Structure 1
């Protein structure tokens, strides 16, 4: 699995980030840089409506990128409704090379590891203010337009940063499903690695 992830990381690190996306990501880069300069905790809570696809991808890839560049960031995710971490999201992460274990049934908890000895990234659908998430001094990173537009206030957030992605849900149960989930995963991965690579400059 590690070899598969390393192969994917080579491709991800070489992805070209379009200028318009770089401008969007710069706000997140500046936030993280400022926290590092002040030697304050870096906490990012990625938020989408159901906490099942884009916010989960974002949490996993942001934490992986932070660990890769040795930035002491803590990455979380949440939603405005509780459903379940979508199995298609989990399947895509496994195709990328993550080691994933499943615990429970109706709203399973998944542990994702990027190496055998890494700290597990905990994935399950939850509200953005779930007990597992930070309740103060964090940035809320809004990954979908619905949550961004319908949840105008996130209690405890010191910054609100829109980084929106298209929902791969549109391709569920189609021949393009796996390819589209992997494409969104790679896009998010590329952007999160871009963000943390710039933090070190």
Structure 2
């Protein structure tokens, strides 16, 4: 079990502590096992760990996953590079951005139709750059990576992803269905918390 290796922003630390207290079902532990094994194998081989979290629009779930996975990797001192992408370009959904802010990340942005967000989790690490892009965008690692499929549509409609070493389904429910409802913020935060808890569990299991 890994211990904390990085000081994060105080507000974010509280969210992380809550995430690490969440109960993860046996069913979800089984889903996460191939991801843990992939990361551990790369570590044991002394090779780079590159993870590309993919959903259709690179708008909500894959963004949450990239941000929380990179934060967890840095938190535990695991040298992983986490990316995200989709099969269509839209924008990092503003509701998901708002949820990330509520979690304690410090966020700045530039641009209009598809803004580039800088997501800061620690004063000691460069911010995570987040914007909607294709999975093979130049900013993402082009080869020797695991494609982590975070939605059923992308998983079922992308039978081949060039450059990937392993395809790992880790699907999440889409909070989009609650857009414009009184439950909107709560549902986005619940989705983000689930992903946070599972990414922190995943990286806590990796032996350096």
TM-score (normalised: structure 2): 0.95
Q: Which has the higher mean CA deviation after the structures are superposed, 6-15 or 163-172?
A: 6-15
Correspondence for 1:68: 75
Q: What do residues 32-76 of structure 1 show as CA deviations (whole Å, max 9, x unaligned)?
A: 000000000000000000000000000000000000110000000
Correspondence for 1:53: 60
Q: How many residues align?
A: 201
Kept after mapping to 2: 8 A contact 1:44/1:73: yes
**Structural mapping, 1:18-33, within 5 Å:** 18-33=25-40
Correspondence for 2:182: 175
Kept after mapping to 2: 8 A contact 1:69/1:200: no
**Structural mapping, 1:151-190, within 5 Å:** 151-190=158-197
Correspondence for 1:194: 201
Deviation of the 1:117 alpha carbon: 3.3
Partner Cα separation in structure 2 for residue 81 and residue 186 of structure 1: 25
Correspondence for 2:112: 105
Q: Following TM superposition, where does structure 1 have runs of at least 4 consecutive aligned residues deviating by more than 3 angstroms? A: none
Matched, 1:90 2:93: no
Kept after mapping to 2: 8 A contact 1:47/1:55: yes
Kept after mapping to 2: 8 A contact 1:85/1:125: yes
**Structure 2: where are the runs of 5+ without partners?**
1-7
Q: Which has the higher mean CA deviation after the structures are superposed, 115-124 or 18-27?
A: 115-124
CA RMSD between the two structures? 1.0
**Structure 1: where are the runs of 5+ without partners?**
none
**Structural mapping, 1:110-121, within 5 Å:** 110-121=117-128
Kept after mapping to 2: 8 A contact 1:85/1:107: yes
Q: What do residues 117-172 of structure 1 show as CA deviations (whole Å, max 9, x unaligned)?
A: 32110100000000101110000000000000001110000100000000000000
Kept after mapping to 2: 8 A contact 1:43/1:74: yes
Partner Cα separation in structure 2 for residue 4 and residue 36 of structure 1: 30
